A and B are shown apart, each in its own frame.
Chain A
Amino acid sequence: MENNLIELNNCGVVRNQKWLVRGVSLKVSQGEIVTLIGPNGSGKSTTAKMCLNILKPDEGFNTIKDDIRISYVPQKISIDWSLPLRVIDFVNLVIKHKNSEISDALNMTGIKHLIYEDVRNLSGGEFQRLLMARAIAKEPHFLVLDEPVQGVDYPGEIALYKTIQKFVKKINCGILLISHNLHVVMSQTDYVICLNGHVCCAGTPKTVIKDQEYIKLFGDSIDPTLAFYEHNHDHEHLPDGSIDESKRV
C-alpha cells in the first residue's frame, strides 16, 4: 500500500440490524488532508473510528500501516469530577513528552498559560485547543480530527485551522478531518467526502475564495484558509436518510 497510511475498502458498520454507514472507501496518504462532511448521524464519526480501528468494520476491511504514530481528537470527552487532571498530565496521557515539547504544542494552540490548570476549569474552546495540542505534541504520522473547532469562536476557528495547516507542512502527516460545516472546508483539503449513511459524493474542493457570493456571505472575515465545497450528488435523501430512488439522476 505504498505511502497510504490508512485505507478503508467498502467498509460498513451494522448496529441493531441497522447500517450506521455502508460502502465507504477512502484512503489517506502522507501529507494529505481528507475531509469528511455530512449531516448529523450520517456516519462521520463511525467512519473515523473504523480508520482508527476502534470499530471493526462488519463489512469490507480496514488497513492501517504498521508502526505509525496516530493522534486522535475525539468529538467529545467528559472527564469525571473525581479525577484530578492538569493540562500537562493530559498532554502526557498516552506518551510522556519532554517539557519543551509540551510548551511548544500548547503555544501553537495558544493555551500555554494554562499548563498547570485543572482540565475541568477550561472553557469549551480552551479544552478543544488542549485536545489539539495533545495530538500535535505526539508528532503523529496520521491525525484524526473529529470536529476540532466546535465551541471555538470564529477567529479562533481560523487560527486553529491555520495551526493544522502549519503543522501538516512541518511534519508532513496525513489528516482525516471531520467538519461540522457542510459547505466550508479547509482550502488545503485535497479530497472531500460527503457522507450520509454512504458516500454521497466526493472530490476536490473548488477554490472559490474570490467568488463575490462568498465574500457577501462572510464579509470581511473571509480568510484564505477556508474554501467552499460544491456538492455534486446524483440522488436525494428522504427525511429518514434513505435514498429517494424515484429522483435518482
Chain B
Amino acid sequence: MFDDFIVRAFAAGIGLALITGPLGCFIVWRRLSYFGDTIAHSALLGVVIAYALDFNLIIAVFVVSCVLALSLLFLQRRTNLPDDALLGLLAHSVLAIGLVLLGILSFIRIDLMGLLFGDILSVNFTDLLFVWIGGGIVLIVLILIWRPLFAGTVNLELAKAEGLNPDLANAIFTLLIASVIAISIKIVGILLITGLLIIPAAASRNLSSSATQMAILSSIIGVACVVLGIQTSMIWNTPTGPTILTITLGVFIATMLPLKKLLISKNKIKS
C-alpha cells in the first residue's frame, strides 16, 4: 500500500497536520511564532551535520533544535535583551554557521530548494515511520502535559501557586516544537513549517469558542488542506508544500467571513 509515492505523500502530510494543529494553537496562544521560525532556521545546520557525519537527517535536526532551544533559555536568564532580539540573534547566526560549514565541507551536495520547501512526493518509508511514531509520541506527551501547559499559558503565577509545574511543561513543550520541525523538514521544508503550524490554528480561532475545540478543529483544517493541497498540486503541477499553504490561507480567509455573526443575529431576531 505504501509502495505508491502518492499514498506515502498523503500519509505523511495527514500525519504531520494532525500534530501541527494542537501544537500550533499553543504557539499562537503563547506568541511563539517567531520561536518556531528560529528553530526552523537552525535546521540547515542540522542538515549539514547529518550529511557530514552520514547520520539520520531527522535526528540531527532534532538535536540541533534542542541545543538551540536550550541556548535560548540560557540567554533569557543571562541577558536583559527582549525575546524577539534573542531569537533574531540565534536564528540568523545559526543559519550563517550552517552556510559557512556547508562551504567548508565542499564535498556535501544539498538540494537547497528541497530543504527550504520540502518535497512531500519524495518521502520514503522511514520518513513515514518518523512522522507517525514520532508524531504519535508528540501528541501523547502534549495531552499528558496539557493541564500545566494550558494553565501556565493563561497565567504562569497562578499555575505555579496552585501546585502545577508550568516551567517543566514549558521546557517539554519546547522539545515538542523541535521534534515537529525535525519531522516536517522533508515534508514542507524549513521555510514553510511555521505556516503549517500557525495558519490552521489561526483559521480555527475564528470558529472556536473553547481551547480544546480550537485545537481539534485546527487539526481537521490542517488535514483537509493537506489532502486538498496534494491533489491540487498534482492537477496543476505546482510545488506541493507551497500549494498546501496557499490553500490553508484560503481557508483562513474563508473563516473570516462573517458567517457565524450572520447566524447569530438571525437567531437573536427570532427569539
- A residues neighboring B (CB under 8 Å): 49, 52-54, 69-72, 74, 77, 79-80, 82-86, 89-90, 93-94, 118, 138, 144
Contacts and interface: CB of A to CB of B under 8 A. Distances in A.
Contact of B158 (A72, A86, A118): A72
Contacts of A86: 209-210
B55 interface: no
Which secondary structure characterizes the binding site on chain A? loop
A6 B154 CA distance: 26
11 contacts: A49-B157, A52-B160, A74-B155, A77-B154, A79-B154, A82-B205, A84-B210, A84-B213, A85-B154, A85-B210, A94-B151
Interface in B199-226: 202, 205, 208-211, 213-214
A77 B158 CA distance: 9
Contacts of A70: 161-163
A84 B214 contact: yes
A84 B153 CA distance: 12
A94 B160 contact: no
Contacts of A49: 157, 161
A13 to B, nearest CB: 14
Given A82-B29, A84-B211, A84-B213, A54 B161 contact: yes
A93 B154 contact: yes
A70 B162 CA distance: 5
Contacts, number: 68
A89 B146 CA distance: 13
Contacts of A85: 154, 210-211
Interface in B74-119: none
Contacts of A74: 155, 157-158, 161
A46 to B, nearest CB: 12
A80 B213 CA distance: 17
A54 B209 contact: no
Given A83-B153, A84-B214, A94-B147, A144 B161 contact: yes
Contact of A93 (B150, B157, B202, B210): B150
Given A93-B159, A144-B161, 12 more contacts: A54-B157, A71-B162, A72-B162, A77-B158, A79-B154, A80-B29, A80-B31, A82-B28, A82-B202, A85-B154, A94-B151, A94-B159
B249 interface: no
A4 B251 CA distance: 57
Contacts of A118: 209
A226 B163 CA distance: 32
Nearest to B150: A93
Contacts of A77: 154-155, 158
A84 B164 contact: no
Nearest to B156: A54
Contacts of A72: 157-158, 161-162
- A-B residue pairs, 5 tightest by C-beta: A52-B161, A72-B161, A83-B29, A94-B162, A82-B28
B145 to A, nearest CB: 14
A120 to B, nearest CB: 11
Contacts of A90: 154
Interface string B162-181: 11100000000000000000
Contacts of B150: 93
